[in-house]
Structure formats: C-alpha cells, structure tokens
A and B are shown apart, each in its own frame.
Chain A
Amino acid sequence: MAATPYSLTELMAVTAAHEIVDGEIVFAGTGLPMLGVMLAQLTHAPNCCIVFEAGTVGSRLAHLPMSVGDPRALRQAASAAGLFEVFNYVLQAGRVDVGFLSGAQVDRFGNINSTSIGRDPRHPTVRFSGSGGACDIACLATRTIIIAKHEKRRFPEKVDYITSPGWLEGGDSRARAGLVRGGPSSVVTTMGVMRFRPTTRAIYLASYHPGLSPQALAENTGFPLDVTGATETSTPTPEELSILREVVDPERVFLN
C-alpha cells in the first residue's frame, strides 16, 4: 500500500471530532467515539462535557478508556454516580446535545442494527452484543452522530433489526413514533460523511475523503446514494494528528 500521511481510521476520528461544537454535552461510547471526543476536547472544543452512561459527567480523560465503565472514565470527572442518574436526569431530560452511535448495519434513514443479522432475530445467523445504551441515546439525545466502517454490507437498504431508531422511514415518521426529539445528523465513515435532507430525511453524501471519488462511495453503499454537491473532506491538521497519535491513543488501541 502506498504511504499516506494518515490512515482512514485517523481521518474518521478527526472528522468525528469536527462534528462536536465547543461547550456541548456529549454522550460517548467506546472506541472511535471516544477518540473523537477526547481529540475534540484537546483541540477545538475544550469546554465540551463528556458524559459516559456508566455514571460519569465531565471527564477530562488522561488515558483512553476500554469501556464506558472503565476507571479511566472517572479521571477528573465533575461528578460520578450510576446509570440511573445519567440516563434519567441527563439523557431522558433532554440535556445531551450530541450522542455517538455505531453498529453492524446502518440504513438510508440512519437506523442502526447492533443486535443480530438475519430475518428472524429469534434465530439469527449472527448475534451481537445488543443495544447497551445505544437505543436510549438514539431516542433521547438532541442529535446523534453515527460512526461506521464503510462497506456495502454494512449499509443495506434496510437494517435487519432497528436497535437504534434513526429517521425510521423518513419524513415525520420519527415524530409519529412518539419520539420527542433527536435523530441522526451525520454518518461519519472510513470513506466520507453523509447527512440527511431537512424534510424528507433522505440521506446524501456531504463529503468524500481525500483520494476517493463520490462514485467509489456510491459503489460501496447498499442503497442509492445521492452524491450531488458532495465536496472533499477537509484533511486533518498535523496538530490534530499528533495529538491523536501521541496523547489520545499512543498505545494504538483503536487507531491502526
């Protein structure tokens, strides 16, 4: 493989970090979301407040946690309690600005499957961990950012199981289901960034990563992808890359 100045995983982490606005209350899960939020806090969003569902609020991470319940998640936290407090008083009450989600499948309305593969979930061909807090975040955060590896099989027309509701069937179907807020604002992948049209909630390609073409993305997506107007994703700055590699994940736990 030709030498590149950054990997697609690094680019995805930096692009995810860019989705966070300084001062926001961010609900993050394990893996790439943690890289993104930790990087954001160390760069353009020093006042973002990191909330982990296992009970911590306002962490200033010094070492990358391996789980949202990791002792590392407590580092310099402003308060710590448990799941009941965070889910009820922070998430359900509407105090989370942005939540990060990922899963095995993501469809054209940003619905996510992290439960199982196969038509009948009682007899799945592949079983995963299950929702954890993902369904709750998808239902109750003010907006969500989805992070996924970009492969055709991971972006089917319809997911096998809606673990985490996105825009459901588009239009106002989310509100009709009784959900009071939220919905995915972007899907950050190893190939680009997709967003949703305001009223129809139809997905479209907003940007493609440097070195890739919109057509390459469309070919690696299992539903027709509107690529009109897509631009190239901005490249990570040397400062972002060095913080990501040397401070956020020096052990290369999630980076490759």
Chain B
Amino acid sequence: MSSKLIDLTQAAALIPNGATLSLGGFTTQRHPMAFVYELIRLGRKDLYLFGHSPGGDWDILIGAGRVKRVELAYEADEAFGTVGPCWRRAVERGQIEWEDYSNFTMVLRFAAGAMGIPFMPTRSLLGSDLLQQQALTQEQRRADPRTSPLKFHVMDSPFGTADRVVLVPAIRTDFAVLHVQKATPSGIIRIEGQTFADVVQALSAQTVIVTAEEIVDDVELRREPERNPLPFFVVNHVCHVPFGAHPYAVYSYYDYDPRQLKAYHQSAADESSFRAYLDRFVTGVRDHAAYLQAVGGAERLAGLKADPAFGYSPSLKRRRLD
C-alpha cells in the first residue's frame, strides 16, 4: 500500500483560498494548531469554516483576517477565555460573515454529510432565536453554493401528528483536518479519549488530512481495529506532527499550556498586541519546530507531559501561574 505521509507544509499547501474546511477537536483539546499556523504562514485566505465548538484554532485564523464565513455553535476557550477575542471583534466590527447553530445541530449537519443524505431531523432549536434570527441574508446564501440555501426547515413528522422536528442541512466540506494521537502511513487513525465530532467531520469532507503525534505501523493499530474509528481509505494525507495541538491538550500525550493560553487571550484582546503575538509565534517563525522553540522549547513542553495514570498532568497549575 502506498504511503500517505507528506510533510506539514505540503499538506497545508493543498488548501486553496476560498476552501470550505472543518478542523477537529473541541475548545481546549486536539485542534490541529500546527496546521492552522502553517495555513497562516502560507497566506491562505477567504476560508469558509464549519464547526461546533472551536477555540483558538478559529480565533487566530479570524484575527489574521483569513476567514470569510463561519457556521458555528460556539467560539471560545471555555474557562481559559469565555469568548474568542478575535471572533468577538470581527463580529462587532462587521468583518466576518457567520451563521449561528447549536453544538448538537452542527454535529447533525456533519452527520448528514457523512451519511450522504441531505439533512437530519432534531427536536432541538424549537422556541429559540436560532430559528427566529438569521445572520446570513437570503441573498448571501443564494449567491454562494458553499452555504446551504436554507438555514433550516421546520415540519411535522409524516408518521405522527403534532410531532414537530427541525431539519438541518448537510455539510459537505472540501477538507477536514484532524489532529489525533496515532496514525499509520496507510491512513488508519487512533483517537484516544473523547472523539468529539472528528469522525463525522472527516466523513463529510472531500479530502481528509490527519496530523498525528505518532506514526505507527499498521500491525500495531490492526491489533485492536475496534478502536480505529475511520475507514482508512477516507484519509488522504497523513503528517507526523508531535505537539501539533499545542497550546491545547492531547489526551494521554500532553496537557494544555495555561501560560500560552493566557498570553494569547491577553494579546488578542487588542488588535495591535494580537499582531505582535501573531508575528512572534506564527508568521515570524519558520515552521512548527521554530514555533515550539518560541513557546519555550523542550523545557516548557516537558512540563505539560501527561501522567499515564491520568492522561493529563494532575499537578498542572491552570489559574495561579506565578
């Protein structure tokens, strides 16, 4: 079987301007951050992002001015930052197009795309302004095939009376990019801990790129196939990227980096200090290895190492950092 291994820069270069894209992970874990930084270095722009609860992966892309439109449920780092600072600023200044859904309904939309059906029904959203308000106009929707022509459709079940459901439209993206614990050159992947919505995001994309902490042999992952959530042939490209989710956590590998997250949120609160952060950690460094040096190198990273008994670092200080 031919190898799907390519390097990170080659993989990021596959994404054209204007691509539709989803990124794996959930708020503070397993975002493909190294890939995101590389996209920024390559100057990619006008991206259409689809997600449920992204964090700094989207926020830094938005802050760098690379995002045209997003469909989402949530944009924040939870207790590390209750709103994405660049996301907030972009909305308040009218610099981004977006549509609001909920986590459940975004996941159902990916699931519909993953199954090759046009929509999924749900009992959520009823009574909320997610149904009463639309951030994208009908003109914006009609003008761009990358967005569904309708946000949703409410109907009564054909199988019973007064049984109302909301249909949410399928998502099919050009690309999905995941960061996982292990992958093989043939495209088998192993996710440890929560899977979030990575599986349906991958299955609803035309092209799937996986960055992994470790590249391992087929033999190792074929020993327990029930722990490998995706058909290997769905994965198109595999990159070996240790610490590829920093400053976010990867279960059983390393914890999130509270100092870096604090630095990000402090910097991103203001446009000019955000620019300085971007220059210092992304555009001003050559590659991922140089990024890891810039954030403190081996010493800092060793301090984040997961304790095998916990899957995270039980002694890590999250709030009182000094």
Contacts and interface: CB of A to CB of B under 8 A. Distances in A.
Interface stretch (A161-169, A188-196, A229-237, A238-246): A161-169
B198 interface: yes
Interface of B: 25-29, 52-53, 72-80, 82-84, 87-88, 91-92, 94, 100-105, 107-108, 111, 122-130, 132-133, 135, 154, 164, 193-200, 249, 251-252, 255-256, 306, 310-312, 314, 317-320
24 contacts: A30-B78, A30-B79, A54-B27, A55-B195, A67-B28, A67-B29, A69-B53, A69-B78, A71-B251, A83-B196, A84-B111, A87-B107, A125-B92, A127-B88, A128-B88, A130-B72, A131-B73, A132-B53, A133-B103, A135-B124, A136-B102, A138-B128, A162-B128, A253-B79
Contacts of B130: 131, 135, 163
Given A132-B74, A251-B318, A71 B127 contact: no
Nearest to B162: A178
Contacts of A31: 79
Nearest to B312: A71
Interface in A125-164: 125-136, 138-140, 161-164
A133 B79 contact: no
A124 interface: yes
Given A72-B310, A83-B104, A83-B196, 19 more contacts: A55-B195, A55-B196, A66-B79, A69-B25, A69-B28, A69-B78, A71-B249, A71-B310, A82-B197, A83-B103, A84-B108, A87-B107, A116-B91, A121-B129, A121-B135, A129-B74, A131-B74, A133-B74, A139-B123
State the main secondary structure of chain B at its contact with A: loop
Interface residues of A, number: 64
Contact of A71 (B72, B74, B164, B193): B193
B320 A129 contact: no
Interface string A40-70: 0000000000000111100000110011111
